[in-house]
Amino acid sequence: MSELIELEEKPLEPDHGMREEIRSISDSVRARRVARSRIMVALCGVALFIAAVPLVALLYQLFDKGLSQIHWKFFTTLPMTPTLVSPNATGGISNAIVGTIALTIYASILAIPVGVLVGVYLAETDSKLATSLRVVSQTMAGAPSILMGLFAFSFLVHDLNIGFTAIAGSFALAVLMLPVIIISTEIAVRNVPNSLREAGLALGAKPHKVSLKVVLPSSITGIVTGCILAISRAVGETAPVLLVIGGGFTNSWQPFDPVSAMPLAIFENAKSEWPSQRAQVWGIALVLVIFVFILSLTARIWASRKQQVRN
């Protein structure tokens, strides 16, 4: 480019010869273009509507069919198998509820400490290990959950011979939860403004103390959000536990006993030949969905609290 201020080329003398042609063509096409735009915009709206319909329909069915199943006994009695004599004797789902809670607690104990630490590691370290682990956890976050079940089976049930137990199921769920916790912890820690970190360092604190006392407390909301989301995911997953928990029929909290879980109960009884069991399944589904919704909404509210604090 020339250093001179003058333009290198002299622009043309103005010639509006093309203007008429441009205007007449565009005028003739305009109505059609505008109509086409309106139609396409409407179609997009239709798509949104179509996307909303299944959700609404599903929720309606859930409440319609499930609500009638919910009563006190539902939560407190063990399941029974209907017989020809008493075809409506389905009992309750206390084993599934106890199982789900137990599995979730054990899985959280396994996954949350490790997950948070790894997340902090990824946020604060710049090494090859960190980069690879980041890719690994992103890939695992999207991995089919049944693979976690296969892993748990292969490792615990088979190699370590632990058998079909709650611990095996918790392990599978923990592996499922880990990537979610890791990623959200990393995001939460990275979101802490650098100025906070630098202020701590400027006051003479050692880097690890800054991390512990300044950075972590500021990121706690994000970390908690991630954990809640991970839990909400674990609660609803069938495939990881399907293979390894054994479908226990007791209200046992023991980690080395077989155990049931709500998603499993749904999966097993959905194809039952007893209409009463199929009806009961809607009740389980409703409880499960409500549970998951509460967890998701809590996470969302928690996350937006974090946004407000940030602002």
Partner 1 sequence: MEQEIEIMTEIKSETTQVVTPAVRGPVAMQLTNVAVAFHGRVAVRDCTFDVAKNRVTSLIGPSGSGKTTLLRALNRLHDLTPGAKVTGSISLEGTDIYRGNLTVTELRTRVGMVFQRPNPFPTMSIYDNVVSGLRFNGIKKKSLLDESAEASLRSAALWDSVSSRLKVAASNLSGGEQQRLCIARALALDPEVLLMDEPTSALDPIATLHIEELMKTLKERVTVVIVTHNMQQAARISDDCAFLLMGEDRAGELIEFDTTEKIFNNPDDSRTLDYTLGRFG
Partner 2 sequence: MSQIPNTGLLEYEEMVADNKPATISRTWYHWLLLTAAILFAAVSVGFVGTIFWSSFPTWAHHGITLLTGKGWVSPSGPFGGLAMITGTVETSVIALIIAVIIGLGTSISIVFFIPRRFRTVVATLVELLAAIPSVVYGLWGLLVIAPWMEATVNPWLNSWPFAKDIFGNPGQEFGTSILLASIVLGIMILPTFVAISREVISVVPQDLMEASLSLGATRWQMIREVVLPTAKIGLFGATFLALARATGETVAVALVAGSVADAQIHLAYPGTSIAAWIATEFGESQGSEISALMALGVLLMLLNVCLALISRALVNRQRKILAVV
Residue 308 touches partner 2, criterion: CB under 8 A: no
Site string for partner 1, 6-25 (x = CB under 8 A): xxxxxxxxxxx-xx-xxx-x
Residue 36 touches partner 1, criterion: CB under 8 A: no
Neighbouring-strand partners of residue 91: 79
Cβ atoms 91, 77 nearer than 8 A: yes
Distance separating alpha carbons of residues 170 and 100, to the nearest angstrom: 10
> Phi/psi at 246 (nearest 5 deg)?
85, -5
Site string for partner 2, 65-104 (x = CB under 8 A): ----------------------------------------
DSSP 13: P
Q: Which of 236, 248, 258, 283 binds partner 2 (CB under 8 A)?
A: 236
Taking contact as CB under 8 A, which single stretch among the options 67-75, 83-91, 101-109, 276-284 is the one that binds partner 2? 276-284
> Phi/psi at 252 (nearest 5 deg)?
-80, 140
Which partner in partner 2, partner 1, none is near 63 (CB below 5 to 8 A by kind)? Answer: none
Cβ atoms 251, 98 nearer than 8 A: yes
CB of 21 to partner 2, least distance (A): 16
Distance separating alpha carbons of residues 40 and 88, to the nearest angstrom: 52
Amino acid at 70: I
Residue carrying the six token digits 């908690």: 224
Taking contact as CB under 8 A, which single stretch among the options 82-90, 92-100, 101-109, 132-140 is the one that binds partner 2? 132-140
Distance separating alpha carbons of residues 46 and 41, to the nearest angstrom: 9
Residue 139 touches partner 2, criterion: CB under 8 A: yes
Residue 169 touches partner 2, criterion: CB under 8 A: no
By CB under 8 A, name the binding residues for partner 1: 1, 3, 5-16, 18-19, 21-23, 25-30, 32-34
